[in-house]
Structure 1
């Protein structure tokens, strides 16, 4: 049973309810969003702007003493995941949870096929680099770097849309199927956590699997004449990245 709109309703519940309304009938890939979707999306973004760590009963964490003065990836090889996830809720239309990154950790460059998303920092600071895939215009040449065919098939022409730093005082970072859909998230100056909504959820059986990428360096591919255009190569999940799980301590979400 869905709670009412009383002052006692947690902001987490209100965000979940608004996410369900917003993403129940999202625009199709390549389709211009209509007014109803944009109005609901704006309401969701406003709620996400308000939410804070205390609303989720999150206590900001300090950098692990064992990592002081040690390269960031070194401690992770002793069994502790660099990233953990707190599951809040999931429906057919969206998933919601919290990612927690250790000091120096990164969520590697990855995509969200056909998905919308919204990310709000709860504590700490993250640097987010967002890319878009570029479609080759009909009849135009596409000069690719000289690589073996197997690697050529894994190449994606893309553009770096933005790189920015976000804290708990920042508004949400927003992605859509067509804009800022690929991104890398790096913890900056210590541990960090962010609330995350994806719509619809990842589902490999429905074509929404997560793919990882790396940016080719200048030595591997000549830079293009177009500013910020890059070649991305699809890769396996990096060996130094994996995600563990931990309990979510905040208010329960009911539908």
Structure 2
């Protein structure tokens, strides 16, 4: 009887381990991303950056993802060029949003542009799933302000330092920006049809003051603003940003996500 009980228990434990292994193997990458984000952002607040270890956890999942992991194909209607004078329509696929983080996908046809905008108090992961894209990003350069000046003077201009101004082609590593570093204000321009998987922690929230602000950017040398001591050889690394209303020609349409389910 004792041997039978031990054998039965051993068999049960073995079956349980096999079941867990099958579940782990069968977990989709997008499900793994959701679970990882849930773990990483649980105790995060606006302006609080996850630990380097937790940032790496999210990045390691995203780095391996492709369009197939979220049920996308480059020949889908979202990515087709249209003959029109208007800028191409961008499609946003909503996967998940809570007060801690959001997951979504921007689908861009060729020449589509997500204008320069900010991410207040957020840590943002952007993974180019397929295609080619140009990314331009800035961080505020308030450290160069004269002591008697506050950010955003009467001209409405505020100095920013260029962080990224490059083309990216999938497959490539995940881009990460932080509340005050890494290119918090960025602009995406689709060189070909492409898709970007975004993780925001925390997401935008107007009542909490985390709304999306858009900007114009002007070369440093084009504006005669005094008291900023930037050496001439470094001036190409800086620009003046000015707040603007959401561009009237920016069209972002929501669509149903049809990839693997999140549980």
Give TM class, smaller chain.
Answer: 0.7 to 0.9
The higher radius of gyration belongs to 2
Tell me the distance in 1 between the aligned counterparts of 2:186 and 2:81. Answer: 29
CA RMSD of aligned residues (A): 2.7
Partner of residue 184, structure 1: 187
Tell me the distance in 1 between the aligned counterparts of 2:37 and 2:110. Answer: 30
CA shift, 1:157, in A, is: 1.2
1:16 aligned to which of 11, 34, 38: 34
Q: Deviations over 1:120-169 (max 9, x none)?
A: 11111111111001224675366999x9x4xx2x3221110112222321
Tell me the distance in 2 between the aligned counterparts of 1:11 and 1:187. Answer: 25
1:198 aligned to which of 176, 192, 200: 200
Tell me the distance in 1 between the aligned counterparts of 2:221 and 2:126. Answer: 33
C-alpha distance 217-196 of structure 1, shift in aligned 2 (>3 A): same
Scaled by the length of structure 2, the TM-score of the pair is: 0.79
C-alpha distance 139-160 of structure 1, shift in aligned 2 (>3 A): closer
Q: Quick one: higher RCO (CA 8 Å, sep 6+), 1 or 2?
A: 1
Q: Which aligned pairs between 1:52-201 and structure 2 lie closer than 5 A?
A: 52-61=66-75, 64=80, 66-67=82-83, 74-76=85-87, 82-136=89-143, 140=147, 149=154, 152=155, 154-179=156-181, 180-188=183-191, 190-201=192-203
Tell me the distance in 2 between the aligned counterparts of 1:138 and 1:219. Answer: 16
Normalized per residue, which structure has more helix? Answer: 2
Q: Is 1:234 aligned to 2:246, yes or no?
A: no
* Gapped regions of structure 2 (runs ≥ 5): 1-19
Q: Is 1:26 aligned to 2:37, yes or no?
A: no
CA shift, 1:102, in A, is: 1.4
1:43 aligned to which of 34, 53, 57: 57
The alignment covers a number of residue pairs equal to 232
Contact 1:122–1:167, Cα closer than 8 Å, also in 2: no
Partner of residue 70, structure 1: none
| SS of residue matched to 2:193 | strand
Tell me the distance in 1 between the aligned counterparts of 2:134 and 2:55. Answer: 23
Q: Deviations over 1:73-132 (max 9, x none)?
A: 7144xxxx6211000111211000110111101000000000010011111111111100
Tell me the distance in 2 between the aligned counterparts of 1:220 and 1:128. Answer: 22
Tell me the distance in 1 between the aligned counterparts of 2:25 and 2:104. Answer: 23
* Gapped regions of structure 1 (runs ≥ 5): 68-72
Tell me the distance in 1 between the aligned counterparts of 2:86 and 2:97. Answer: 32
